[in-house]
């Protein structure tokens, strides 16, 4: 199965893709943000440039993104399907993807901006394996999102890696990323709606609550 996750930064795309969809469907979770964060610390020729762009919350130029994505989709594990998270992020990228593959579903993850800002402030990520935790405890507007805490504070349960907060998760930068999302990425919802493949996910809880909802949407429950 080939799935695109759409939705604002912090809405939950990465969490649902990695904790629910990828294990259930047995296809890789391909996050362009994760790929760029890895590139930024790899010491490659592009590292410094990429780090500067992502720390500011800007978009990496399309040529670089498209190159990286084509390469990733060409790998063995992606031949039976994939979950794309963070790509496509604008119309040019969507058109490029159309040239290389079709997709079965676009899952549009929806969450109010004020909640997103609180949630991103609480996001903690494992430096080693990328597993996502959250220290925020949100109960408002019909939403129940208890924290997703590691057993030992600051340490990943999966690999004992150190948990950190992304530089681009600072509130001012999150507001810029949201603006960029509404300008460049949100129009893709309509682009895919014309094909009848968009499924909206209104987030009202953590992964445990959302799991059955999401599996039902893709016909797996």
Residue whose CB is less far from Zn ion, 159 or 221: 159
3-state secondary structure of 176: helix
Binding partner at 159 among Zn ion, ligand ADP, none, C-beta below 5 to 8 Å by kind: Zn ion
Q: Give the span between the Cα atoms of 72 and 100, in whole angstroms.
A: 12
Decide: residue 7, CB within 10 A, 0-12 exposed, 13-18 middle, 19+ buried: buried
124 binds ligand ADP, rule: CB under 6 A? no
Binding partner at 54 among Zn ion, ligand ADP, none, C-beta below 5 to 8 Å by kind: ligand ADP
Minimum separation from the CB atom of position 54 to ligand ADP (A):
4
Interface of this chain with ligand ADP, residues 81 to 100, rule: CB under 6 A:
86-87, 89, 93
Catalytic residue IDs: 13, 89, 123, 166, 177
Helical pair 113-121 and 171-180, crossing angle rounded to 10 deg: 140
Say how many CA atoms lie within 13 Å of 94 toward its Cβ. Answer: 16
3-state secondary structure of 106: strand
10 binds ligand ADP, rule: CB under 6 A? yes
Q: Give the span between the Cα atoms of 102 and 94, in whole angstroms.
A: 11
Indicate which single residue of 36, 82, 105, 131 sits in contact with ligand ADP (rule: CB under 6 A).
36
Residue whose CB is less far from ligand ADP, 24 or 58: 58
CA distances from residue 166 to 132, 138, 180 in whole angstroms, order as listed: 11, 20, 18
Q: Kindly determine how many residues on this chain lie close enough to bind ligand ADP according to the rule CB under 6 A.
A: 19
Indicate which single residue of 3, 21, 27, 54 sits in contact with ligand ADP (rule: CB under 6 A).
54
């Amino acid at each position: 199965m080939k799935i695109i996750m759409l939705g604002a930064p912090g809405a939950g795309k990465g969490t649902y893709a990695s904790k629910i969809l990828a294990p259930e469907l047995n296809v890789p979770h391909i996050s362009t943000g994760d790929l760029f964060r890895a590139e930024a610390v790899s010491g490659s020729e592009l590292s410094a440039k990429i780090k500067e762009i992502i720390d500011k919350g800007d978009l990496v130029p399309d040529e670089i993104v498209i190159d990286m994505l084509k390469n990733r989709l060409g790998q063995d594990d992606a031949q039976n399907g994939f979950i794309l998270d963070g790509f496509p992020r604008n119309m040019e990228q969507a058109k490029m993807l159309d040239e290389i593959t079709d997709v079965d579903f676009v899952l549009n993850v929806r969450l109010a901006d004020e909640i997103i800002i609180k949630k991103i402030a609480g996001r903690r990520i494992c430096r080693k394996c990328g597993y996502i935790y959250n220290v925020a405890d949100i109960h408002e507007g019909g939403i129940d999102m208890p924290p997703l805490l590691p057993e030992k504070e600051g340490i990943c349960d999966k690999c004992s890696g150190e948990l950190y907060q992304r530089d681009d998760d600072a509130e001012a930068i999150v507001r810029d990323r949201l603006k960029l999302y509404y300008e460049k990425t949100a129009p893709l919802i309509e682009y895919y709606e014309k094909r009848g493949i968009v499924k909206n996910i209104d987030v009202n809880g953590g992964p445990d609550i959302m799991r059955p909802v999401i599996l039902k949407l893709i016909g797996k429950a």
